[in-house]
Structure 1
Amino acid sequence: MVHRLFQVLLFIVVGTFAYALMYSNVKPEKIHIELFKPAEQTIRATKTVEDTYKTEQEKEEVLKQVADVYTLKKEYAKNKVDLIASIFDSAIEVHEETSEEALKEDEKAIAKTDAQKVSILKEKLTDEVNKDIEESVFLALIQADEDELNITKDLTITAVNNVMSSRIAAGDVENAKKRAEEELRYTSISNDMKKAAISLARSAIIQNVFFDSEKTEEQRTKAVENVEPVRILQGQVIVKEEQLVDREIYRQLELAGFLNTEKTIYPYLGLLLFIVLTLIAFYYFFYSSTSKKEQQHNQLLIFSLVFVIALSMMKIFSILAGFQHSDLVYFFPGAMAAMISKMLLNDRLSVAMTLLLSSYGTIIFNGETPSNLDYSMGLYIMFSGFAAIIILSRDNFKAKVLSAGSLLSVVNVAFLFSLLFIMDGHYSKMEYVYYSIAAIVSGLSSAVLTMGLLPFFEAGFGVLSTIKLLELSNPNHPLLRKILTESPGTYHHSVMVANLAESACEAIGANGLLARVGCYYHDIGKTKRPQFFIENQITGSNPHDQLPPRTSRDIIIAHASDGGELLRKHKFPKEIIDIAEQHHGTTLLKFFYYKALKQDETVQESEYRYPGPKAQTKEVAVIGIADSVEAAVRSMQQPTPEKIEELVIQIINDRIQDHQFDECDITMKELSIVKSSLCESLNGIFHSRIEYPEFNKLEQKVEA
């Protein structure tokens, strides 16, 4: 409960610090603007907004350019041709029906007969048609013979069809009639028929193109839909410093919200909600960790401190960028926090750190312009952090942080250039050089700061980093020199166990480097009485042969506690001390127990067991197995792969049955992997060798 309360309080403190740090980045700017006066500063749009006024103007301009749509009524030409043909056909019918009696002596009678024919012709036609035809036309049609009527009919229909097939607007009707008239004027028919044909053709020529409101509206709708809304884009300069603020600029500033004097709490609420959500998500992420409570406590403190340091550096860089140059932010060591988290914590937490900082970076590096988020900087921090985690995951870079920083610089340059190319900013050569320098400095400074801060974290939190482990593995370390000079057999045994344990730990995903370094020091307690351990007995005499079992027991068991005391005295990390004290767990000293049992049957087995504790981690469990296996295989006369495998299985099964792994999280599957790894390594060490002849005999063979 206390641990959980501490976590919550720590998250509240970190959240409060983050809110205070980013408060100015969301605080709305107060800008003093007056119409028809020069602007006091360059103002950029903080968000993308649509300029509805400009958009409407664009639409109006487009509508003006859309021409009215007129439709050609092709059926009008056919109707008029059919009408002209009907008139001529009716006149021909009148001729056929009318009697051919001629009243030669009375002129009046002849006129009356023509009138009768005209009357008959009109009856064949409708009143609407009759009113559009002159009387002289009827008379000419009646007086003409049938052949002439047929010829005139064809000529008139052709003229009307030719003219009506073209587009005739309302203003072009008279010109169209003149074209028909001109076409008929030079024909070979009689004058009366020519006049009649021209009159009929002129009456038939009408407007055949009409305004189509539906299609026109459809064209206008399409044109308006194709108009892209006019927008004031985020980051766009609305007015430059000392530029006169005219009505158009003033309108744009008002539209972008710079003239809104009303106070708003939304940015502050948004920031609070953002911080609360990210920290709740991370709290759940941290709470779901499988680490032990004590380890969680330490990890949370380190994570929070690294986060606060990185966040503070972000703020400093953003402030400096505001004074100097906006692109100074790319000098920020974005991978520093990820590298420290990777070295001190684990991959899981270093990835979480990178994601958290990249999201906060989009706000902090917004140039203190509310509602503006710098996504490019967020991507830069995230990619740089991930690249650092991947680089440091490689064994050859675990201790070479500066080398990792150099490689990271190359990656930073490549990624930054990818961002610049995507943004297509048309940068100059000098600007590209500037960005390259920024990316290189960012990578190298991340490595330098990591190296500089690691010792403080290691000392303050007792964290065992990769660099510290490699430092302890140096053969020139005083305690390793002590083992080598005072108990060389133990030193050789420790090196052999280290090789076995490292391979096995890496096979199951445990810390192989910790296992190796722990093995170097796991038997350092033997330096107190080296001659009592068989690997250091050069003469072959064993002092235990002269000692009672209890005394031998005390000497052997003491090497674990003696090693722990010696390591504490030299301020070694807790993980190394634990390996020295736990690698035997509570196993039984079988040899001396059975020896004592022969002397006294009342001896208790518990008296001849190591005091423990049992293995608490996978690394200690693997080291304990490797320690026993190496000693046992070394004592075999002629080790074979089958014998080695049988021995390894026996030792692991003994430890399982003795409940030596009950307090650590190693699984049966992992123990199987450990078995395979140990057998493979041992087969490589104890492989069969060729028996070479003695040197003199070999020399004689060569001479022969």
Structure 2
Amino acid sequence: MKKRTSIEHVGWWKKVKNQRYIRILLYVLLAVVLYVSMLGNVIPDTYEVSLSSVAEEDIRSPVTVENKAETESKYQEALNSVDPVYVHKSDYAQNQVEKVNDVFELVEQVRTEEVLTIDGETVTDPQIEDQLSYIQEILSSGSNRGLSEESVETYLDATDSQLQIARETVKNAVYESMSRVIALDDISSARDEVAEKLALTSVNQRLYEAMLETARISITANYLYDDEATEELRQEMVQSIEPVMISEGQLIVKEGEIINHAVYEQLRLAGLLDDTFNPFPYIGLALFVLLIVGTLAYYFKEANTTLQNNNSHLLMYVLIFLVTVVVMKSISLLENLDIASLELIVPAAVGSMLITSLIHFRVGLMTSMMFALVASVIFNHGAVGTLNFTTGVYILFSCFAGAFFLGKDNRIVRILQAGLFVSLINIITITALHMMKGGFGSWFDYGTAISFAFISGFFAAVLTLGLMPFFETGFGILSRTKLIELSSPNHPLLRKILLEAPGTYHHSVMVANLADSACEAIGAHGLLARVGAYYHDIGKTRRPHFFIENQMKIDNPHNKISPQLSKTIIISHPYDGSKMLKEYKMPKEIIDIAEQHHGTSLLKYFYFKANEQSQQKVPESQFRYPGPKAQFKESAIVGIADCIEAAVRSMTKPTPDKIEQLVKKIIRERLEDGQFDECDLTLKELDLIAKSICETLQGTFHSRIEYPEEGKNKGKNKGGKE
């Protein structure tokens, strides 16, 4: 009977599936579909509006953006409102008094000097003209360059007492005037005031004029503009000004309002005018999709799952992901119907449930997070911003619920129960989210929301049940349902074993029991090992009588042929079985178990027999199975159970101690022979396997009481006495 062909047996796929570019193409396909499905949700709507036109609807900003023109205007207003900072330089009074004192000291010094250097020439016994020139030269290099020759000459002609009075009077007048605040505009009045103070001095007119000139040029502004303080104040004012922002979701213009220049500029900045092209949403979405696909690719590369190197499973994963996204997108298109909470009906959990059942639980959890991110973009209609976080969180918990509840059990009843669990989690999630926002608008809205949330879980379970057989068949996935189907005694190959090699059938059932319990002990796939054990010796049906378990009441045919020929017959059965299983399109794992259960072990009986009959030592390599060795735990465990079952069956009067010693011996020999080198069994797991097999065998070969023969007991029990 031919089975429907999975993609693993399709010729063109078998040729290209292991090519590296296929893996890249699958990721590209996923990225392209994600990009196309979300593109319409990230490109903001544009409006055909003009200045002075009337808004036909409420328009809100899809982004947060700064209105730089308004911000700059606010900055200028703030700067213009800052008054200049002026500072009273109180030390200027003493400085100016010292300058007055310097003038008089210079005059006194010149009057007593007998030698002066004027313009680089030395003058001895200087005259009044020489003294005047010298003083003018000195004063011209300082800050009192405004003092006239007449005033200097007056000071030179004055007596010592007059000069002393002039000095003290001018100093006092200047200090008194400069002690008050003098702004630039107040200099003239301050100089007039100092003239009044000097007018009270009893000196001649000529000296008074010189004193007045000296005092006037010494009066200067001491209330000056502080550039540093003013700039600091301006900076503080600017920093206190908040930028003018157009917030995401902000109402720019209401329906019926006139669009003025300010509103038009805000629409332009928000990218809502149809005459502008903003490339950033396209680039941003591309990066977003790259992050999603890149994260998945890295996770699949590092995680210990079939997606790490099985491109067929990766193709199935991509198809499941895309089916889920298409379902999301289809429901999002119905949002134009204005049905409240319609997005809650999306059965996103179908993706996580299918991936959990068909691939791996951890992959289902990882994908749940990706579904939440995609859904938050696809269902952003009416949301403030690009992401609808409420829907994203709802989808996240919905997918998590399906993956957690389903786990590794994908029985039909379990899937239906998972759907109910998803519905319950959906209702709790949506209730929590809306209560955090302040509650629903009405009981009707709440009832609608929880109804959609419940239907979402139901749809997820129905879709999972409907789609799973297609993926199982199309990709040769060994789901629990598929394994149970293969374990049916009515399967053609199992019936073939039962009818043509009954001893092998019984042996296979025993091996299945041992392998199943051993796998369960270490957390491996017990049902896979059981079903694999059922078929592992299917190759013996080619020549059943050459195997001892089928030699009932007949001579052993190996006694009549050479060890080399016996070896060839015995060693061929794993590969004959593999070929038969392939003809029936059996799952790859079952074929691998049949082909690997003997690994490269030595056919000891015929090897020793050949050495006995040969003059020269026969190489071991001629009597070893060609392999391959066990590549996964279930295959290795079936090989252990196969060897142990045959060995225990040949024991006479097996006891628990004998069985335990034999089990440990066989496992140790296979370990030392390197039969576990290519699978990831640990020493601790081998110990657990040995204990489990011993317990199972002790239950099978337990001691039984001997029942007395009926004839002997009749006489003894006659009369009701022993």
Q: TM-score, with normalisation over the residues of structure 2?
A: 0.64
| 2:324 match | 310
Q: How many angstroms apart in 1 are the aligned matches of 2:719 and 2:425?
A: 58
Q: Is the 8 A contact 1:25 1:364 kept in 2?
A: yes
1:405 aligns with 2:419: yes
Deviates more, 1:562-571 or 1:534-543: 534-543
Give per-residue Cα distances to partners, 1:391-447, cap 9 Å, x unaligned. 222547478534433443344334333334434433545444433432333223223
CA distance in 2, matches of 1:648, 1:452: 45
Shift of 1:583: 0.6
Match of 1:18 among 21, 34, 46: 34
The answer for the alignment partner of 2:693 in structure 1 is 678
CA distance in 2 between partners of 1:688 and 1:252 (Å)? 96
Conserved 8 A contact 1:399-1:470: no
Residue 567 (str. 1) matches residue 559 (str. 2):
no
* Closer/same/farther in 2, CA of residues 643 and 429 from structure 1, 3 Å limit: farther
Deviations 1:363-415 (A, max 9, x none): 11101767242112212222222222222225474785344334433443343
Indicate yes or no: 2:536 matched with 1:522.
Answer: yes
Q: Which residue pairs with 1:657 in the alignment? A: 672
Determine the C-alpha separation between the residues in 1 that align with 2:312 and 2:461: 23
- CA-to-partner distance for each residue in 1:545-577, whole Å, 9 max, x for gaps? 444433433332232122112211111111111
Alpha-carbon displacement from aligned partner over 1:642-682 (angstroms, at most 9, x marks no partner) = 22221111111111222212222323333223223222332
CA distance in 2 between counterparts of 1:325 and 1:39 reads 25
Question: What is aligned with 1:27?
Answer: 43
Say how many residue pairs are matched.
526
Q: Which residue of the partner structure matches residue 186 of structure 2?
A: none
Is this contact kept in 1: 2:629–2:676, CA < 8 A? yes
Change (3 A) 1:280 1:702: farther
Q: For residue 340 of structure 1, what is the amino acid of its counterpart?
A: L
Is residue 412–residue 465 contact of structure 2 (8 Å, CA) maintained in 1? no
**What is the match of residue 592 of structure 2?**
578
Map of 1:274 onto structure 2: 288
Cα pair 1:504 1:673 within 8 Å, conserved: yes
Decide whether the 8 Å contact of 1:28 with 1:369 is kept in 2: no
Cα distance in structure 1, aligned partners of 2:513 and 2:311: 33
**Where do 1:149-548 residues align within 5 Å?**
244-245=256-257, 261=273, 263-290=277-304, 295-367=309-381, 371-393=385-407, 395=409, 397=411, 400-426=414-440, 428-539=442-553, 541-548=555-562
Task: Quote the residue 2:117 is aligned against.
Answer: none
- Residue 428 to residue 29, structure 1, CA distance change in 2 (3 Å): same
How far is 1:522 from its partner?
0.7
Structure 2 Cα separation of the partners of residues 692 and 295 of structure 1: 59
Q: CA RMSD in A?
A: 4.0
Change (3 A) 1:444 1:543: farther
Equivalent residues of 1:49, 1:255 under 8 A apart: no
Give 1:487 shift: 2.6
1:544-559 aligned within 5 A: 544-559=558-573
Determine if contact 1:29/1:370 at 8 Å carries over to the other structure.
no
The 1:492/1:439 distance shift into structure 2, 3 A limit, reads farther
8 Å Cα contact 1:366/1:372 also seen in 2: yes
Q: Partners in 1 of 2:436 and 2:426 — Cα distance?
A: 15
Structure 2 counterpart SS, 1:309: helix
Conserved 8 A contact 2:248-2:384? no
Change over 3 Å in CA distance of 1:359–1:703 after alignment to 2: farther
- Structure 2 regions of 5+ residues with no counterpart? 1-17, 68-244
Structure 2 distance, partners of 1:408, 1:479, is: 40
* Aligned-pair identity (%): 47
| Distance change (3 Å), C-alpha of 1:618 and 1:680 | same
Matched-pair contact (CA < 8 Å) for 1:618–1:666: yes
Match of 2:623 among 583, 602, 608: 608
SS at 1:28's partner residue? coil
Contact 1:397 1:403 in 2 (8 A): no
CA–CA separation in structure 2 for the residues paired with 1:45 and 1:473: 62
**Matched residue SS, 1:639:** coil
Q: Point out the more displaced range, 662-671 or 2-11.
A: 2-11
CA distance in 1, matches of 2:496, 2:364: 37
SS at match of 1:378: helix
Q: Distance in 1 between matches of 2:473 and 2:409?
A: 24
Could you give the per-residue CA deviations for residues 229-273 of structure 1, whole angstroms, max 9, x where no partner exists? xx9997798988xx644899x979959976864653333332222
One-letter code aligned to 2:654:
P
Which digits, 9 at most, give the CA deviation of each residue in 1:481-525, with x for residues without a partner?
A: 222333333222222212221222233333222111111111112
- C-alpha change, 1:472 and 1:484, in structure 2 (3 Å) is same
User: Which residue number corresponds to residue 141 of structure 2?
Assistant: none
Q: The residue matched to 2:309 in structure 1 has which SS? A: helix
* Aligned residues of 1:19 and 1:271 also touching (Cα < 8 A): yes
CA distance in 2, matches of 1:510, 1:472: 19
1:647 alignment partner AA:
L
Say yes or no: does 1:643 pair with 2:658. Answer: yes
The answer (yes or no) to whether the contact 1:322–1:367 under 8 Å persists in 2 is no
Would you say the 8 A contact 1:35–1:245 is kept in 2? no
Q: 1:43 to 1:482 in 2, by over 3 A?
A: farther
Instruction: Tell whether the 8 Å contact from 2:357 to 2:407 is kept in structure 1 after alignment.
Output: no
Mapped partners of 1:408, 1:16: distance in 2:
30
Task: Read off the aligned partner of 1:500 and give its amino acid letter.
Answer: L
Quote the Cα distance in structure 2 between the aligned partners of 1:12 and 1:408.
31
1:620 maps to 2:635: yes
| 2: CA distance, partners of 1:403 / 1:253 | 56
The superposition leaves residues 81-106 of structure 1 with CA deviations (integer Å, 9 ceiling, x where unpaired) of: xxxxxxxxxxxxxxxxxxxxxxxxxx
User: 1:300 and 1:236 mapped to 2: Cα distance?
Assistant: 44
Farther-moved stretch of structure 1 (312-321 vs 35-44):
35-44
Rate the CA distance shift 1:481–1:391 in 2: closer, same or farther, 3 A: farther
Give the drift of 1:617.
1.6
8 Å contact kept, 2:64–2:247: yes
TM-superposed deviation, 1:5? 4.8
Does the 8 Å CA contact 1:25/1:369 hold for their aligned counterparts? no
Q: How far is the alpha carbon of 1:701 from its aligned partner?
A: 9.8
How many angstroms does 1:38 deviate by? Answer: 7.8
More moved, 503-512 vs 572-581: 503-512
Q: Deviations over 1:40-67 (max 9, x none)?
A: 446567579999xxxxxxxxxxxxxxxx
Report the Cα offset of residue 608 of structure 1. 2.3
Task: Classify the secondary structure of the residue corresponding to 1:659.
Answer: coil
Q: CA deviation at 1:336?
A: 1.5
Structure 1 unpaired stretches of 5+: 52-230
Q: Is residue 646 of structure 2 the alignment partner of residue 631 of structure 1?
A: yes
